[in-house]
Amino acid sequence: MRSPDSGSEMEEIFSALRFAADKHRSQFRKGEEVSPYINHPIEVAELLVRVGGVTDASLLQAAILHDTLEDTETTAHELDAAFGPAVRRLVEEVSDDKSLPKAERKRLQIEHSPGLSTAARQIKIADKICNVRDVTSKPPRDWPMTRRVEYLAWAERVVAACRGVNPKLEEEFDEVLAEAQVRLATERPV
Ligand code: ZN
């Protein structure tokens, strides 16, 4: 059965897609394939729906917008005006403070994750699933093996700090991580 609200929810989701596609329009992923950046947030949202069974429109909007604050010129005010305070807050929850050095930001992701909302934790797990896959099969050209291995270990710690929100997504992460570890171990030069 369609909920009476499904039309407007569809509209909200597509409006987020259009906004994110525009904000990321000149960006590309770091991998060898150089795919358009927007492919990444689309993958994260698709995973939340398909694997995580997520149907909440605000959560999916925030997933689509999850890198706009961190990686584009988008402001919190803009998100608020376009999508409302709930979506803006969720995107803020999953964004690092860019004024901090990278290592500190990575440490804080582990430290802050247990205190995030269940919606934000689901987005973070889906994001890490996609990133672990990318680091495994289409890593940034300039990443040596040690950096890829370190990324997997860090992602595992962030997801450990997010657990208890969506068993299917958490299982998917475990599978993707195990595959990644096997694959990198066989690729690793002896
Ligand atoms: Zn992301």
Q: Which residue type is seen at 46? A: E
| Residue 1 pLDDT | 46
Quote the ligand 1 centre to 127 CA distance (angstroms): 5
Per the structure, how many domains does the chain have? 1
- Helix, strand or coil, per DSSP, at residue 65: coil
Task: List the Cα angle 25/34/39 in 5-degree steps.
Answer: 55
Active site residues: 70-71
Distance between Cα 11 and ligand 1 center (Å): 23
Domain encompassing residue 115 = 7-187
- Domain membership of residue 131 (yes or no) is yes
Q: What's the whole-number average pLDDT of the chain?
A: 93
Q: How far is the CA of 44 from the centre of ligand 1 (A)?
A: 7
Q: How far is the CA of 88 from the centre of ligand 1 (A)?
A: 16
CATH of residue 101's domain is 1.10.3210.10
Q: What is the pLDDT of residue 135?
A: 94
Token reading at 119: 């919606």
Mean pLDDT of 116-133: 98
The verdict on residue 70 lying in a domain is yes
In a domain, 48, yes or no: yes
Give a yes or no: residue 86 inside a domain. Answer: yes
Residue carrying structure tokens 């990324």? 151
Q: Are 91 and 80 in contact (CB under 8 A)?
A: no
- Tens of pLDDT, residues 154-175: 999 999 999 999 999 999 999 9
User: pLDDT (tens digit, 9 = 90+) per residue, 84-103?
Assistant: 999 999 999 999 998 999 99
Q: How far is the CA of 186 from the centre of ligand 1 (A)?
A: 27
105 lies in some domain: yes
Alpha carbon of 6 to ligand 1 centroid (Å):
26
Q: CA-CA distance, 52 to 181, in Å (whole number)?
A: 23
For the segment 114-137, the average pLDDT, to the nearest whole number, is: 97
Question: Distances from the Cα of 188 to the Cαs of 52, 118, 132, 155, in angstroms?
Answer: 32, 36, 16, 19
What's the pLDDT score for residue 5?
Answer: 63
**Which tens digit of pLDDT belongs to each residue from 50-87?**
999 999 999 999 999 999 999 999 999 999 999 999 99
Residue 4 Cα to ligand 1 middle (Å): 31
N-to-C CA span, the chain:
56
Whether residue 135 lies inside any domain: the answer is yes
Rg over alpha carbons for the chain, rounded to the nearest Å, is: 17
pLDDT digits (tens, 9 = 90+) for 3-46: 556 789 999 999 999 999 999 999 988 877 778 999 999 999 99
- Is 1 domain-assigned? no
Residue 2 counted as domain residue:
no
